[in-house]
């Protein structure tokens, strides 16, 4: 992110997280990849998980966004 001459910037979302509403649709799907030959040879399993959700904010005033926070190490 950049703003003015700043280039090492980050975003931060602060809020009262119970005001975030998450609606889940359908089922949580877990699928192992049966065609991952390289993963099988390495002793690994490739797994994909999927869930359909909707997200909404109950009270927008319960959240604040900072888009030009200076990041330092």
Rg (CA), the chain: 20
Per-residue confidence of the chain (73 residues) as pLDDT tens digits?
667 777 778 889 999 999 999 999 889 999 988 777 776 677 788 888 999 999 999 999 999 998 888 876 5
- Give the span between the Cα atoms of 3 and 15, in whole angstroms: 23
Residue that the structure tokens 């609606």 belong to:
23
pTM here is 0.54
Q: Using CA of residue 69, residue 67, residue 21, residue 27, what is the dihedral sign?
A: negative
Nearest to 58, CA basis, from 25, 16, 12: 16
């Amino acid at each position: 992110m950049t703003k003015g001459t700043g280039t090492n910037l980050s975003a931060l979302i602060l809020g009262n997280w119970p005001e975030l509403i998450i609606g889940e649709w359908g089922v949580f799907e877990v699928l192992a990849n049966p065609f991952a030959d390289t993963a099988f040879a390495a002793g690994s399993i490739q797994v994909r998980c999927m869930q359909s959700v909707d997200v909404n904010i109950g009270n927008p005033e319960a959240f604040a966004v900072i888009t030009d926070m200076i990041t330092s190490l």
